Structure 1
């Protein structure tokens, strides 16, 4: 049915385009000084969306329904824009552009889904064009996005960076949309935007447009905090062959590694004939990733850093150490153990010092049993228990009553450093290609594929080693000057990816099962204490002895370790099977096997030209299908298919009023998802021209996002099995009986543990274990109302000012609760009660001083009062700023670009870890030499050139300098 509707819409679109009487406009654009043709120049009919861009030979042609007279606007970054009045002949129009640096003249599309000058945008928008991308100082164009106003980033690895705006930053940011050529590049199963692990080659980037804030009215669910649109180069506009080789080093003065080499090769080939064009790109990167090496002690119950290390804290749990998440309380294990094997193991490990028979055999002649015991620790033993000695109860009673022998102390297993578990051999292979056919001068058909594979590290609720991970995106599109119709699919394959903490825990289990290790530890500790060893020495003796049980602790790099690691990391999580009778027959897996897919169809028509530009009017619709297929390694999908359908439609109406001094735009969108009620998201914007090139904008926008696919259906054990993530839909909650046997919140559980620790009998106050009650309305989509006031103006053609302030109110904010029950921990997505308010402002300045461009921006973000029981994951510094200085030609053919970035300290909260992130600053710089004789450029530069290691978010690796030299042919 939907396919038929799309086909009918296609016929209507082509019919409308063909029916409108059109005028052919053609011409040539050259450089006034060199007389050489200029490719990529924008040509538009003033006041309309009709237009095109020049080809490699500086020529252009397009059709428009406008009748003469009309005005052509001819513009290109780095040249003075020209307006040509067309009164007669529309063919063979020759125009010369004068090189200059004019600010604010870029044409953007994403703000209103129609071409407009960036100065006239109704909402805040940032843009990086193709000419700027060539001269950015960072290691990649994607890294340079962090220099835009109001942008924050979470760097999880060398090739994995999550972009965000306006607060609530996260490692896998699901409040921020990313599109490449109109395709959503969020992984449908793993739920993170893949950033530029798998994306555009730098040689193929035409432009990047960033919309901070809500954008659901035009772009649908998601993008509640912002939308990033990356557009590749069209072969008709950018034909030719080019390549770039970049090499460099990182890990300079790194305590974790020697200096490592970085290599990247990019190739692009494109060709255009009269109607047919094609392009192909290839990019390959190879480097050594940044190390996650935070060994600070982390308390996962209280979610905070605490003092201590492995030597001083028996319950040590390092932030980037895995396997040590498995922990048991010594006294609770003894007290709660009813299995004879566990008690027998403890008794045996004590070396006989705690064996009841040994105690009775050594009673001195003439001494009473109780008197003898009291000589050991001064504790009287009830006479009724004398006869119980043979049942092996007395020793446990004795120990529980004597904290000096059996303390109320949690102990953890020895873990493995992240470097021993995670694959740091970063690789990224990206390929793309398209076949383009011009049906008419303004209607183009495109078949496009983008495929990439890589090895990287991602931080979610755990540290995930993404090995041979791949995503393919395949698109068919028909577009014209007033419409587009596209369908694409995203095919995600997790490859050999696995969870690091599960791997660490499983290696421990293979070497010595918990059922053997913990009793051995406790028994040896008791034996050492009864032999008058200090508590510290006793813990050391106990750990050494426990690590010798079973096959003995596997040391990193040993054959036993590598064999176990290889076996576990290549076995699916869902294949894990514990054999309590014979642990040697147990199977352990840490690999996830995700093969989820997304199918997306959408179309839009702009009726503005049909309506003779009386008003601007656009309509669009879309349909999505998520197919979740993880084989039980991420989702609760063993033996069943999980599908999610989403539908949506939008309309937008704009009109210039008061002698075209004020433009009012109204937009609205309705969306419906399988598991949730439909949502309507309106948008109202206004742009007031107060002087030429000076505009004040005001907007009311709404946004919403559905709970992610994982929010709905995840069923996954993480953090070494210490926590199970489950979906927030009723079926998932019922599966673990959390309605009938509810858990308790973290704060209640902490209070209970504190009361138990203060009790001489180790008995907690049961009244503190308040059962958690789920919201009867169930899990719901999250929404935001966003108010913004801004100004953008060009002063004396030398100073561009952009300022804004915003206020956001979130409703049904999707957060998570951690519930404790019967020794198990569950993390479940829920909606926060009440509203969450945030606000902020930003100021950006760009100033031309001769050939120099000075730029700077500062942004401020703050969160208001929080609802009860809400964990603050705003994860955003209050203040950050960027400063830049550039000159494209300081002397002939020699240019440079320097960028400085600073952000304040702040607190980071996530399901992986929480803690303070120190303030940091970075310098990025490059110097480039253009070699016109061979159409090439050499660039020498670096990111974080002062090599001050920093972290962007708690638990992620420290990032140092990356120095490079690059050679580019035909940039």
Structure 2
């Protein structure tokens, strides 16, 4: 364990257990708590003074006793998970105050807010909703509540690293999911420079989370832009109802039987402190720190980036090898094109400059007969080239030989050697989360809140490239005033990229520092020709060319060498905007891979519920919001090196609800209008109905719409990738005009590849190079219409059934294209566009919860499918057709012992992204935990494992495979 980690635990333990004890006239209360049905004593029952921290818990015999200085009369609360709470007024000291708790069936009785932005039983929700309450959070069979979300019906997770996971529902899963909203205490959890949530880096710790509500499907009518596929709301505990000190220490290991590394430790410490005074003023603070070795992305299969498919071969058999998780080998050149194309003039100029203009190799070599042999060229050099220039002329001779003898050069692409991801990214995963809040109640109906959440860490994220997020941090700061019928809220999100960098740019830059492409490729080709003319086979000649180009003196730094480490350190700490990689300025010799992102978001919103004002005749809510994005990346992500970019968004919504037919039918109508700086306004309606067919049995139907604006990067990104061979640019007219793509048109990848195939066959067909014309309307927001029919019912208070089916139609679906301009030889440009046509998806899900005595059996299955696709759309549905979960749990199988086991399976499917595309095999996992309660110490010991059978699997192509994670935890005062 590191010294820093040890000091952090020691300091927080001191804070947790240090206090000031004040003695005054006290009230003594004691008694026993039993199960009303069995008369058995219940250990671990909480007995607390309502609104205070004072209290205790029953021991193994169900007995309790505690003293408080609270002035009588006051109220105590007797509560235990799975039982109905009791409140009792106390007027004096009393002994033998016994209680009998009734077992509570909680199935279907949870209250949710997010579905209608007003409290209602989950059984009566007008749309599909999933909820994770405190009992489920405490008993989860996963390292954290965030990891346990995968067990919810229809939920998928893309795992990019140990601490970076993206949540999704209903298809179009992605590494950074821009179609799924995530909120923490009402604050949009997205990183504003990325436009998606970075896992749980500034989310909640298990000790501070009160509940999680998840809405699969469109939710724009209530929550605005985004959330086109779903919205999740995480709500923290308040300091009035949840007081006192609690902490959790978790230790374990991962990387068992991992070929990349040996077994590695996993450590996490969480603490929470909350206190209130007179139920008027309350404060809380929480701390969470995680340290572990990240999962390794180590897929070395050969990848064809032009066609976005895996191909056969490795570095030995394929001169143009490009490993999936190998970086720097993206730089590729055609041998014949090099000797006859762009590099030759530069070589000629070097020799001219070296000779002071006295020797022009092209003019001199033109005197050699066209059919001269290679030895004749060597003899010419020794006889005609000045001695100081013979070495340089010999090195570059193959180019001039190739000019006169095209058949000597194969029509073969060759790539540079790359470095594995493990040599380039920081796998020392860490996560530090701090949060604090102050609450003040003016009265029972009016409360003010000041809240700050801040998180930092080191992780790895997959976008167009793999990004090493080092010391990445985000802060969220909120002021809120809320009453019984309204709230006013303002918050800001401050994103800071820290020392984050692009792994691929780092790899290719190290190559460039060790040996520039202009020297490496000539060295390769020169030695290839030398070996070839001496009779070596093609494979042997390529091996000779590569070995010579990589040899010391020509320059490829060996991974881990002092030269490599020095170059790595300099490059990953130099901004990418300072380099020739990003601005295509060949005069620059500085190389960098680092981001400098300081993008901010400012959000203001309010809502008023007129229902009470209207005497509950109808339910009416209205609200409005305003948002500002400040894009500040210093040219390392956005086109903002010499300017500041701001984006404003405005919106307003209203919702009307009415119960009919003796309250058996509830109709809800909602609508929202939103406007963004670069796009026209958009109206999104929602209509929903819930019909009670029998007590606790409801049928729901809804028509929902959703939309999302093109992301900040969709609009303004300007970044070179793939070794300078491709540039990511925004899709708005301003960005397209910058690169003259309206006039100097490019051709689509498929057309460009078809032309290359015709050229390779010896009959190039220019007619295949069809110019791409952008849509006259420009880039537009994406929208969806969603129809859903569902049923949720509780049978005999033991069986809860939830089923739904949906059909979605997406319009103006935002996808991406890559354009090539062969005539200019300036590489390719990738930008977002709207697919021309509709994209349809459909699916269904079924969830079942069944109580058998003290056992809870759970299961759910989901089905998702995509329909016909527009011709210009790459299928990034990225979702298994079928997936299911099975669970079995018991809170107390024997006295103080409980367990939870979860099994999940999903079938194989194809994954498509801008980073890589390929098949994801089917896989299954088992998660389990057993727990032991120690009531006398208000503690729980849990032993568990995630992916218990250690079957390594990947959720998305190009991301690491995740294995088992095994842990034991001690939680005090959970």
Contact 2:397 2:526 (C-alpha < 8 Å) held by counterparts: no
Deviation per residue, 1:400-440 (Å, 9 max, x gap)? 78676311000000000000000000110000000000110
For residue 131 of structure 2, the aligned residue among 108, 122, 127 is 127
The answer as to whether partners of 1:80 and 1:102 remain within 8 angstroms in 2 is no
Specify which of 425, 430, 436 is matched with residue 422 of structure 1.
Answer: 425
Partner residue, 1:87:
none
Instruction: Assess, with a 3 A threshold, how the Cα gap between structure 1 residues 321 and 817 changes in structure 2: closer, same or farther.
Output: same
Cα 1:456–1:231 change in 2 (3 A) is: same
User: Which residue does 1:820 correspond to in 2?
Assistant: 820
Structure 1 residue aligned with 2:118, among 95, 114, 119? 114
- Equivalent position of 1:555 in the other structure: 558
Shift of 1:479: 1.1
Once the two structures are TM-superposed, the CA of residue 546 in structure 1 deviates from its matched residue by 1.1
1:511-522 to 2 correspondences below 5 Å: 511-522=514-525
Residue equivalent to 2:896: 893
* 1:794-830 deviation per Cα after TM superposition (whole angstroms, max 9, x unaligned): 0111110000000000000000111112241111000
Q: Which residue of 2 aligns with 1:882?
A: 885
Aligned to 1:89: none
Task: Give the structure 2 partner of residue 284 of structure 1.
Answer: 289
Partner of 1:294: 299
Give the structure 2 partner of residue 214 of structure 1.
Answer: 218
Change (3 A) 1:583 1:441: closer
Q: 1:370 to 1:875 in 2, by over 3 A?
A: closer
Residue matched to 2:174:
170
Q: How many residue pairs get matched?
A: 880
Q: Structure 1's 966 and 375: CA in aligned 2 closer, same or farther, altered over 3 A? A: closer
Cα distance change of structure 1 residues 372 and 328 upon mapping to structure 2, 3 Å threshold: closer
| 1:344 Cα deviation from its structure 2 partner | 8.7
- The CA deviation at 1:441 is 1.2
User: Aligned partners of 2:869, 2:676: CA distance in 1, in Å?
Assistant: 28
Contact 1:331 1:400 in 2 (8 A): no
Change (3 A) 1:307 1:120: same
- Secondary structure (helix, strand or coil) at the match of 1:779 reads coil
- Aligned-residue offset at 1:101: 3.5
The match for 2:712 among 709, 712, 724 is 709
Query: Partners in 2 of 1:570 and 1:671 — Cα distance?
Result: 40
Partner-residue secondary structure (3-state), 2:924: strand
Which residue pairs with 2:766 in the alignment? Answer: 766
Cα 1:130–1:574 change in 2 (3 A) is same
Following superposition, the deviation at residue 659 of structure 1 comes to 0.6
Paired with 2:42 and 2:550, the residues of 1 have a C-alpha distance of 78
How many Å apart are 1:874 and its aligned residue? 0.4
Q: What residue in structure 2 maps to residue 44 of structure 1?
A: none
Q: Report what 1:528 is aligned to.
A: 531
1:87-486 to structure 2, matched below 5 A, reads 98-274=102-278, 275-337=280-342, 339-342=344-347, 399=402, 405-486=408-489
Asked if 1:835 corresponds to 2:826, the answer is no
Give the drift of 1:95: 11
Q: How far does the alpha carbon of each residue in 1:910-962 deviate from its partner, in whole angstroms, 9 at most, with x for none?
A: 00000000011110000000000000000000100100000000000000000
> Deviation of residue 585 (structure 1)?
7.0
In structure 1, C-alpha distance between the alignment counterparts of 2:405 and 2:949, rounded to whole Å: 57
Unmatched 5+ residue regions in structure 2?
A: 1-32, 57-77, 89-97, 353-360, 378-392
SS in 2 for 1:568: helix
SS at match of 1:202: coil
Q: Does structure 1 retain, via aligned residues, the 8 Å contact 2:44–2:80?
A: no
Q: Are residues 512 and 127 of structure 1, via their aligned partners in 2, closer, same or farther at CA, if it must alter by over 3 Å?
A: same
CA-to-aligned-CA distance 1:706-760 (integer Å, 9 cap, x gap): 000000100011233232110011111111111111111010011011011111x
Q: Which residue of structure 1 aligns with residue 689 of structure 2?
A: 686
Q: 1:835 to 1:319 in 2, by over 3 A?
A: same
TM-score for both structures, normalised by structure 1? 0.87
Q: Which residue of 2 aligns with 1:791?
A: 791
Does residue 871 (structure 1) correspond to residue 874 (structure 2)? The answer is: yes
Q: Report what 1:620 is aligned to.
A: 623
- For 1:280 and 1:338, how far apart are their aligned partners in 2? 61
CA distance in 2, matches of 1:487, 1:76: 36
Which one is further off, 546-555 or 921-930?
546-555
1:430-473, CA deviations, whole angstroms, 9 ceiling, x for partnerless residues? 00000000110121110000001100000011100000000000
Q: Is the 8 A contact 2:503 2:593 kept in 1?
A: yes
Q: How does 1:666-681 map to 2 (within 5 A)?
A: 666-681=669-684
Alignment equivalent of 2:547, drawn from 531, 544, 548: 544
Kept after mapping to 1: 8 A contact 2:579/2:588: no
1:267–1:281 CA contact under 8 A, matched in 2: yes
Choose from 745, 748, 751 the match for 1:745.
748
Q: Distance in 2 between matches of 1:373 and 1:569?
A: 47
Report the CA distance shift for 1:697/1:346 in structure 2 as closer, same or farther (over 3 A).
farther
Q: Take 2:915 and 2:257, find their aligned partners in 1: how far apart are those partners?
A: 28
| Equivalent residue in structure 2 for 1:576, among 546, 555, 579 | 579
Provide the C-alpha distance between the structure 2 equivalents of 1:700 and 1:708, rounded to a whole number of angstroms: 25
CA distance in 2, matches of 1:700, 1:550: 68
CA shift, 1:658, in A, is 0.4
In structure 1, what is the Cα distance between the partners aligned to 2:176 and 2:678?
A: 22
Q: Paired residue for 2:657, among 608, 630, 654?
A: 654
- 1:639 maps to what in 2? 642
Give the match for residue 723 of structure 1: 726
1:906: Cα distance to partner? Answer: 0.3
- Determine the C-alpha separation between the residues in 1 that align with 2:623 and 2:929: 43
Cα 1:701–1:38, aligned 2, differ >3 Å: closer, same or farther? farther
Paired with 2:111 and 2:597, the residues of 1 have a C-alpha distance of: 40
Separation of aligned partners in 1, 2:55 and 2:605: 33
1:896 CA drift (Å): 0.2
Distance 1:585 1:548, change over 3 A: farther
Q: Which moved more, 1:193-202 or 1:232-241?
A: 193-202
TM-fit CA distance, 1:612: 1.5
What is the CA distance between 1:338 and its match in structure 2? 6.5
Relative to structure 1, the CA distance from residue 706 to residue 358 in structure 2 (aligned partners, 3 Å threshold; closer, same or farther) is: closer
| Structure 1 unaligned regions, length at least 5 | 1-29, 42-52, 60-73, 85-93, 348-353, 362-368, 378-390
Post-superposition CA distance 1:19-51 (Å, at most 9, x none):
xxxxxxxxxxx987579998899xxxxxxxxxx
**Within 1, Cα distance between the matches of 2:371 and 2:918?**
52
Q: Residues 358 and 183 (structure 1 numbering): CA distance in 2 closer, same or farther, change over 3 Å?
A: closer
Deviations 1:644-681 (A, max 9, x none): 11111111111110011100000001111111111110
State the Cα deviation string for residues 115-159 of structure 1 (Å, max 9, x = none): 111000000000000121011011111000011000111000000
Helix, strand or coil at the partner of 1:720 = coil
Alignment partner, residue 855 of structure 1: 858
Separation of aligned partners in 2, 1:337 and 1:609 = 75
Q: CA RMSD in A?
A: 3.0
Q: 1:445 to 1:394 in 2, by over 3 A?
A: closer
Q: Distance in 1 between matches of 2:551 and 2:371?
A: 37
Which secondary structure state, in structure 1, belongs to the residue aligned with residue 197 of structure 2?
coil
Counterpart position of 1:782: 782
1:340 Cα offset (Å)? 3.9
For residues 375 and 521 of structure 1, what CA distance do their matches in structure 2 show?
19
Structure 2: how far apart are the matches of 1:499 and 1:895?
45
Shift of the alpha carbon at 1:868? Answer: 1.0
**Deviation readout 1:332-391 (Å, 9 max, x if unpaired):** 1112136444369999xxxxxx99989989xxxxxxx677659999xxxxxxxxxxxxx9
Partner of 1:383: none
Instruction: Tell me the alpha carbon deviations over residues 302-342 of structure 1, each in whole angstroms, 9 at most, x when there is no partner.
Output: 10000011111000000000000000011111121364443
So what's the TM-score if we normalise by structure 2? Answer: 0.86
